[in-house]
Structure 1
Amino acid sequence: MGLGGCIILIAVGAILTFATDWDVQGVNLDVVGIILMIVGLIGVTTFSSIYRRRRVMVPPTTVVEDERHHNHRDGYIDGGYGM
């Protein structure tokens, strides 16, 4: 389940808990909504911790210019005289 699925669980749980007044015999929808919100929060924290571990920090590197690629002929350096 990805981050989007976890957010959907939280939203559905909040709707069931706070926005409905349905009475279903044998099922307490407030408890079901709270359980869905808790499962969604656990999923978000798990997803974010896994994503943080996967992210690789690459140190910046300096570009080394190779001088063998420049054209040196008859006083012209890369198309400009004496530059």
Structure 2
Amino acid sequence: MTENVDYKATFDLIDVDHDGLISAAELKNLMVALGGEVSDEMAEHAVTVIDTDGDGLVSLPELADYLGENTPKS
């Protein structure tokens, strides 16, 4: 398991309602703010890929594990 502290700032940036979970809507809003074109379906799929407990939301440990596994090692 990846250390959550490494990804807390990123998580907090996405979790705009500060409920401790990232929804597909929050992820989409971030991508749009960064200039991306993201459909609801794309955002929902991204959450599904990261969401390991099947609740339809992304927690900090889930995001940290996903990013830790998908970040190139230097």
TM-score, length-normalised on structure 1?
0.24
Q: Looking at secondary structure, tell me which structure has more strand per residue.
A: 1
TM-score (norm 2): 0.26
Structure with greater Cα Rg: 1
